[in-house]
Structure 1
Amino acid sequence: MAELMNPDTWYIADAMPPELKTKAHVVLITSPKRSTYKELEKRGARMLHMPPWSLEELQDCRSKLGLPVSEAFVKKCFEYGGGVARPSLLQSGGAAAAFDEDVDRLLGQLGRAVDTTSVSQVRAALADVAAQDRGPEASHRVIHIMTDGSYSVRQLVFASRWVAERFMAKAAVEDEQGLVSLVNGSTGTFRGLMHEAWMHRTLPKGGEFTIAPVKLTGGTMKLVREADCTLKLPPCKEAVFEEVVELAGGRCEEGVYYKPASARFPLVDSLLHVGGVVNLFQMTVDLNKPVDFAALEGLLGDLGLTSQQEARLIFVVPEDIYPNFELTMKTDGSRQKQASPTAPALGSAPAAVPELGPAPALVTRPKLCIMRAPRAQVGVRALSA
């Protein structure tokens, strides 16, 4: 074709190796299958990664194209399978029975994909992009490619929290040693998902955990990390909730580990009411986290907790991060470093702390703690950390 010899032409190839005897600008759009793009890569082509769709993008597409798909169905598909357009934007019909059937069909497909993906395949994919390319097609339902603003940095993550937890439950039976190695050796965004999924398995088993209370002092809103102590949690049942209103008005039962159905639930990753205290857990692998007391007060109000009822917000961090983990105060859109475990050097002048005014309601609503999550181990049923 004469057009391919025109340097002003843009030649777009879809999921197939392009013709390379051309002067046109070549754009290849393909799944991560190296056999499709390897020749173009050899010629120095710039590789960009398209991340999964966000929930907002899926809903926007559904709305603007007038697709016969409910908003609830798109949300449910996103929660289970991540931001993949095809299953999220195809629904059999509007009836409740069809909705349930379509969700069950999606869960069946995802479940089969997880069941055919091994720990060794996941580890290989994390280590080398070519290894993921060589993996079974099912693995692409389990592992998604994320990227940064440049679209050139490739990071792998589980498709969703549901997929991560299903994979972890399967691997714990089939290859527990491999799973433990994967949890302890993961990094970056993938580590965050593994850490959260592992703690969702660990905390309901109960045990003794090391925590450091963090208190709000005086009228300056200064957070101070205190000495380590031990928190004992009993083994408990597990339950899933859709909306926080389901737990309000005394419906948050003692001894039940509650987990939101959606990983996008704000502020906390799980709740446990034990010993008269409502424990709110937030799992993180970050080196610091902001505390939004105003939003937390709203959550406690939605739970129907009175000012006399004790609540704790517990940041659960890996043991290598725990010694230096810091909380920051979020006030009026700004963050001020607080709760540092490291004292200032001798002879150094203390940093000036801006006067933010008294906030007595923040002292106990809720109490703050940092929990040390122990390294994953084989065969551990109840933990001491």
Structure 2
Amino acid sequence: MTSSIITDIILDLPLDDIEKASLLSFFTDRDASKVEAVLSKITKDEIKTEYLRKYVKSNAGKHKSTESNGFNKKQKFVRNQKQKLCAIQDQQDNTIIQHDEDLAVLEKSVLYVRKSYKYLYNTLKENSAVGLRRFLITGTSGIGKSCFLIYILIQLLCEGVTVIFQPINDEYFCIEENLTISSGKYVDFMYQLNLPTTWYLADGIISPRLVLAKTVVALSPNGIATKEFQEFEKRHPIEYYMGPWALEELLTCREHVFPLVPKEIVTNLFHKAGGVPRYVLQNVEKRPDAKEMEIVEKEACKRIELAISETDDFDKIIKCFTENEGTYVEISNRIVHRIPDETHCDYHYEWASAYVFDRIQERLEEKAWVDCLHKIRIMRNPYEASARGFLFECYVIHLFRTGNQKFEVRKLRGEEKDQFRKPNAGFVRNLSDLLKYSGENIVIVPDKQNFGAVDLFVTPNCIFQVTVSEHHPIKQVELTKVITSMPVYISDQNAKIQLYFVVPDDILYMTNLNTKFTQLEIKILMKIGKS
């Protein structure tokens, strides 16, 4: 119970309801006699308020211990290396933060810092400075959102601000400006959580507290789909998407954080499971024996294979994008990755790997692919836009890789029409692999992580981009890299390169197709789906 005297004092102060509730909660089941004695001698409300705020701030959570967790190590780490950290935090080439003991949450003494961590942290700081205070960090499960929160925590502690960290359980850790640390329940830190200068970091919490502190929630799509999360989502947090890892990132992380994992296993798993460190690094760390490589890889990919086994028709695949039901979201997370744009504010879908797409194709009968095109045509909901483009791209690649297909071709300017016949197929992972295909009429399916401007090649001089949008700008920089790596261009820099935009039959024209290339390309439109 709260003393009636302190209750009356708090209720009489000119404070908003949230702060009154925080103060009342703080004094619940606490001895307030000394505070009451002091306040009885103060007449001005503003001085009473200032005294209460300072008292709560200095006493919150003092009775709690943190010896049983790794947060005291993080506090010691920051205290001992604060000057060093502050000196290097702005260096964009710094990718490793090292400590001599394991840190909380990570259970590692080394934190690998992705470039996206630095970009997102700076973005959060800029937006919070202009009054925005609720943020959601999401993306494919297992890509390191918790690690990003630890990175935020370290940076904020270097800046001398109060941070409340809430891990998955219902315990809160408060680290003050002077690096004192305490733990407790929500009621112990209600006051700090309702200060606009505090940062509240919620790791995997599906029902984060609605408070005045600057709030950053790291949560996978599985958690976002739950009913409990909807109360937070109604407050319209600013969403940012974290992307899968590139192979180079995984190999660097392996070198510094998971040195016992063989490099070959990392590479092999990346090309099966995609850029998810949970599958590629964490799941194989305890079994690094190269002699058991095949067994280790099979164990690490169990969840991927299970998800593939659940996708034997397009209805199930489409539900992965259009329904919030947990089963489909979980399947989608394993076989389809969310790839953010350069601002991390939007994303598009891609298969986790070429291996996953090949396995999906094996499971789907030809009738299912025909049915897929019909379903794509009727997907008009704005929330389905990204899924529509992704599925149409899958359909086009399937047509190019199977059967002897003919397509209608139209030049972007004028009414001249032609036909295009699908040739044989191959696969490349990087630009240098293009040199392997100097012959003619070979379809080349590129690794999407390394070919952002191309969905397909047909040798010697055809490039294909698949889209369901009338407004599809040409990616000049990436396209330049691709063209200058093509064997036909290397042998003749005046060679014509034909760029095809592959679109469904309901798109009659396209815009934003300006390019700096003159002799290098002819822009041609291909229509698919016309009956």
TM-score normalised per structure 1: 0.64
2:407 is the alignment partner of 1:209: yes
Tell me how far apart the structure 2 counterparts of residues 185 and 82 of structure 1 sit (CA, whole Å).
30
Q: Does 1:51 align with 2:242?
A: yes
Q: What code does the residue aligned with 1:372 have?
A: M
Please point out which of 322, 325, 336 is paired with 1:127.
322
1:38 aligns with 2:227: yes
Determine whether 1:191 maps to 2:374.
no
User: One-letter code of the match for 1:232?
Assistant: F
Higher Rg of the two aligned structures: 2
Q: Residues 317 and 370 of structure 1 are in contact (CA less than 8 Å); yes or no, is this contact kept in structure 2?
A: no
Q: Aligned partners of 1:154, 1:266: CA distance in 2, in Å?
A: 13
- Which residue does the alignment assign to 1:271? 457
Does residue 111 of structure 1 match 2:309? Answer: no
Structure 2: gaps (5+ residues): 1-63, 65-183, 194-198
- Secondary structure of the residue aligned to 1:327 is coil
Amino acid at match of 2:397: H
Q: Is the counterpart of residue 4 in structure 1 residue 186 in structure 2?
A: yes
Q: Does 1:371 align with 2:522?
A: no
Q: Which residue of 1 aligns with 2:75?
A: none
Question: 2-side partners of 1:262 and 1:149: how far apart?
Answer: 16
Task: Give the counterpart of 1:228 among 416, 421, 436.
Answer: 416
1:239 corresponding residue in structure 2: 426
TM-superposed CA distance for 1:259, in Å, is 2.0
Distance 1:58 1:239, change over 3 A: same
User: Residues of 2 paired with 1:148 and 1:261: CA distance?
Assistant: 17
Aligned residue number for residue 160 of structure 2:
none
* Corresponding residue pairs, total: 327
**3-state SS of 1:320 partner:** coil
SS of residue in 2 equivalent to 1:195: helix
Counterpart for residue 383 of structure 1: none
1:82-97 aligned within 5 A: 82-90=274-282, 91=284, 92-93=287-288, 95=290
Give the number of the structure whose residues are more often strand, by fraction.
1
CA contact (8 A) 2:337 2:349 kept: yes
One-letter amino acid matched to 2:374: S
Aligned to 2:513: 327
**CA-to-partner distance for each residue in 1:78-103, whole Å, 9 max, x for gaps?**
444333220122445484x6666655
CA distance in 2, matches of 1:54, 1:259: 21
Coordinate RMSD, CA, aligned: 4.5
Could you tell me how far apart the structure 2 residues matched to 1:116 and 1:253 are?
Answer: 39
Counterpart Cα distance in 2 of 1:75 and 1:319:
39
Aligned AA for 1:53?
A: P
In structure 2, the CA distance between the partners of 1:35 and 1:262, relative to structure 1 (3 Å rule), is closer
Offset at residue 230 of structure 1 (A): 0.5
2:444 corresponds to which residue? 258
Kindly provide the amino acid, as one letter, of the partner of residue 406 in structure 2: E
Paired residue type of 2:529: R
Q: Which runs of 5+ in 1 are unaligned?
A: 215-224, 332-361, 378-385
CA distance in 1, matches of 2:260, 2:369: 43
Aligned pairs (5 A) from 1:333-372: 362-363=518-519, 365=520, 367-372=521-526
1:281 aligned partner, one-letter code: F
For the 8 Å contact 1:244–1:303, the answer to whether it is kept is no
Pick closer, same or farther for the CA change 1:280–1:206 going to 2, 3 Å.
farther
Counterpart residue identity of residue 473, structure 2: K
Deviation track 1:135-170 (CA, whole Å, cap 9, x = no partner) reads 374443124456678978787654345434543553
Q: Distance in 2 between matches of 1:111 and 1:178?
A: 24
Q: Which has the higher helix share?
A: 2
The answer to whether the 8 Å contact 2:498/2:523 transfers is yes
Find the residue that maps to 2:427 and give its secondary structure. Answer: strand
| Superposed displacement of residue 113, structure 1 | 1.2
Structure 1 contact 180–376 (Cα < 8 Å) conserved: no
Q: Deviations over 1:264-290 (max 9, x none)?
A: 2364333323xxx53232333442332
Residue in 2 that maps onto 1:280: 463
Query: Are the aligned partners of 2:428 and 2:444 in contact in 1 as well (CA < 8 Å)?
Result: yes
Q: Residues 372 and 395 of structure 2 are in contact (CA less than 8 Å); yes or no, is this contact kept in structure 1?
A: no
